[in-house]
Structure 1
């Protein structure tokens, strides 16, 4: 190994990594920080429940578009200038959201937050792969991986606490001091990079328009599909067509552009392609389960947002505790074995929650959440490491954009799957329970009579009516619990079925990460 490769990162490089980590954490936090505050926000800005969902959807749509396009902006403006612009923009748009008196202004602010915040996620991984020498990259990867795990976990908890103890406005205003600190770190830690304004003159406009149209429409389709009954809706059908047109334009741009906006050719590398697919799967499990657990706890044991947040937070503890070990583990454990182990832990944790009952509460999730945290540690962090080393350094921006877009897109697919199956499987289970236990069967009559007597309070007829209502509620609750069990089981199966993808990955040298990304 040459002396150049043995050279350690200087203080400026670590300040740059710290800036990238803080920016990525802030951006991932804002994906979910408003979820616990949505009912309050909707009431204050005069939005209906359906309209209020766009407060989250607007951010997700804008973010995934910018994640994919960030490599092109970075090459054109230079990394330092690009990050300074988007950090300042994020602070401005956060203020816009915090002061929003109407739904329209809130959505404008959230779109702006999504565009500017989306740029901070892939650039954090780019900083790690370009500013740190190969032997120190695992430290930066661990810090970045922590943001991917903790951001979605801490978001609802922080948002719920701020809403309960201060005001929902502070869920946005909290970004202001962080953005100011981030600007200082960027000015100190990053050098002024080379700009390439010529990229604007011969830009891959087909690719830019295609990615914006394809990813934007696809994300909106997945977010709104179940609410609009999928392809029964002309809106969903139109979004699907526009998304398809967008991806066709991207393909044409890859063929005719001198320098495509996003080099999809790196997906021909089997190792990176497998990392991309597993990022889809792990992202789906991450965001899908982060949605399932609070929903179950709110609907069955009647937890509030803050109580649910503490249960969700448990999965972040193993990552925080084991993060210092990652630079050592990445040198002694084959990356393929580590990712397979992580996905197996993840799948096993899902199976632990595949037999829920109506009597279960947060305690039922403790062991599964800790095991899930181990799964996230091994799968996400080692996939991050593989993403930075699977391609040449000149493709680092494109690899980071694709890897992070895959994780977010996997989350959108998972949430669409969850919302669809929650509706359909609950109806199916209610029908089956109703067929097995009818009010006219001897067992059903005896049960109803028992309920009616307990609720009569001197009014037998009223007691029977209340008993029927309670019986119906219990059937619905049982059907809902069975559906949640089905969904956890399904996520477990998906994780285990995806494990063979690790066989397509290239192993990292035992002496340290590959130098390709240095």
Structure 2
């Protein structure tokens, strides 16, 4: 199951580096190609919302088999895409089935292992997840540059087939609750789709459509908001809801979910913005950017071992506190970029952020889910993953919009400063013109070259200032969040009573 999780996470990590190749291969525009990620994310969160109910209906075994097999088929379809529309549709298939894999892993971890064994199991799961973060950008860049972007998808197929067959033959953890089919919460399912689908489209397209100046964005926002109210009313009163919201009455789960939402924002938004920053400011290719981002994944991989060691020394709340403080500090360190960053300029911040990742996530995961009984784990694991992914989606969408707005603000401000300092600007322009004039054919070319250079400098400075502001804001917010984890209850000594079979057996370490 961790192998299936690894494939699903690689499907996100290795593709982000290859956007340029997909765009040229499919003849798509920059706005269109971003939908390859957006469609995957929308379908994934819809599946996460339903995963708790589906795990009970299908059983862990057949839920995982269906999702791993569907993800593999989706990979084949993505490799065969003939235009941007087909690629977006097939990525949605990939995301829909891939979204159900992580809840299967968490369900097994918290219902089939004793509490004293979960630390090692959660570390193993974390290692697979972080290995995907480390290897994804490198492999994605290498495959796209050396072979073709289509091989990024085809490389999933043989491993996906093996994982699917192993899941079907070995994953006998529980029995399906077939009676739930007759009591399926179809209105809840429809409302969940209407909340998440339009909501994520608003986050992705809002900036490009000038937010509520667009009738489409306004309409989708209204649909999502109304559906959310109806969804909450339905799920709180339904006897067999597709999403059991009563789990939020448990303090550890409610607070842990809030923390992991913020963790998703602060981990994934800078992880998305840094490659964009490096590509726009330094004009680096996919392989070089992948190597610079690789440091974050290595730090995440190592942090799993550090977390396990700290679990033996300090309570999980203290480990989580250390992780959040490190995450905030690392993000603040990333807020002092300049226009020509190299590998060693991003290395310290990426290392600290990487080491902080599992120091935060693993203790929060154990504190949030470890306090629940086995009958609530399937629903809670899907919800926990959904909230984490929503944090990533909201963070990426919001910070991307904030970044572009701040770039425009700083560019305008620089223009005003230049106009108000006419004498200085005139002297500087004259020096620049004299430097260009001997290298071009005529004075008109020198003037044009001077204007282009000025525009480039202003754009780069505006980009650097906006990026740094975004990182400093996220880092400060994470530091302010840190004390909240001390309010989580300890799970030390909890030994839930479980029956063997029917999804509640206990396995040894």
Q: Which residue does 1:146 correspond to in 2?
A: 127
1:447 is aligned, of 428, 438, 452, to 428
Deviation, 1:281, is 0.6
Separation in 1, partners of 2:329, 2:143: 34
1:174 has 2:149 as partner: no
Deviation, 1:108, is 2.6
Kept in 1, the 8 Å contact 2:130–2:301? The answer is no
Kept in 1, the 8 Å contact 2:10–2:132? The answer is yes
2:220 is aligned, of 229, 239, 249, to 239
Deviation, 1:192, is 6.1
Q: Which residue does 2:503 correspond to in 1?
A: none
Give the length in aligned residue pairs.
497
Deviation, 1:144, is 2.3
Separation in 2, partners of 1:265, 1:410: 21
Matches within 5 A, 1:118-517: 118-191=99-172, 193-438=174-419, 441-457=422-438, 459-460=442-443, 462-509=445-492, 515=496
DSSP 3-state at the match of 1:456: helix
Compute the TM-score of the two structures, normalised by the length of structure 2: 0.93
1:49 is aligned, of 30, 41, 57, to 30
Q: Which residue does 1:12 correspond to in 2?
A: none
Separation in 2, partners of 1:436, 1:415: 31
Once the two structures are superposed, residues 210-239 of structure 1 have per-residue CA deviations (whole angstroms, 9 ceiling, x without a partner) of 111111221221122111111111111121
Separation in 2, partners of 1:516, 1:139: 21
Separation in 1, partners of 2:285, 2:496: 48
Note closer, same or farther for the CA distance 1:51–1:357 as it changes in structure 2 (3 Å cut): closer
Deviation, 1:150, is 4.0
Separation in 2, partners of 1:204, 1:308: 45
DSSP 3-state at the match of 1:357: coil
Deviation, 1:362, is 2.8
Deviation, 1:405, is 0.8
Kept in 2, the 8 Å contact 1:284–1:410? The answer is yes
Deviation, 1:135, is 1.1
Kept in 2, the 8 Å contact 1:134–1:514? The answer is yes
Kept in 1, the 8 Å contact 2:293–2:350? The answer is yes
Once the two structures are superposed, residues 343-397 of structure 1 have per-residue CA deviations (whole angstroms, 9 ceiling, x without a partner) of 1111111111222222333321101111111211211121222233032211111
Which sits farther off after the overlay, 409-418 or 326-335?
Answer: 326-335
Which sits farther off after the overlay, 28-37 or 173-182?
Answer: 28-37
Note closer, same or farther for the CA distance 1:516–1:235 as it changes in structure 2 (3 Å cut): farther
Note closer, same or farther for the CA distance 1:215–1:147 as it changes in structure 2 (3 Å cut): farther
Q: Gaps (5+ residues) in structure 1? A: 1-19
Note closer, same or farther for the CA distance 1:279–1:322 as it changes in structure 2 (3 Å cut): closer
Once the two structures are superposed, residues 227-275 of structure 1 have per-residue CA deviations (whole angstroms, 9 ceiling, x without a partner) of 1111111111121112112222321222331111111111121211111
Which sits farther off after the overlay, 415-424 or 439-448?
Answer: 439-448
Deviation, 1:406, is 1.1
Note closer, same or farther for the CA distance 1:148–1:253 as it changes in structure 2 (3 Å cut): farther
Which sits farther off after the overlay, 484-493 or 452-461?
Answer: 452-461
Deviation, 1:325, is 4.6
Which sits farther off after the overlay, 141-150 or 89-98?
Answer: 141-150
Deviation, 1:514, is 5.8
Deviation, 1:147, is 4.2
Compute the TM-score of the two structures, normalised by the length of structure 1: 0.91
Q: Gaps (5+ residues) in structure 2? A: 499-505
Which sits farther off after the overlay, 124-133 or 42-51?
Answer: 42-51
Separation in 2, partners of 1:476, 1:51: 24
Note closer, same or farther for the CA distance 1:429–1:330 as it changes in structure 2 (3 Å cut): same
DSSP 3-state at the match of 2:311: helix
Separation in 1, partners of 2:173, 2:497: 23
Note closer, same or farther for the CA distance 1:153–1:241 as it changes in structure 2 (3 Å cut): farther
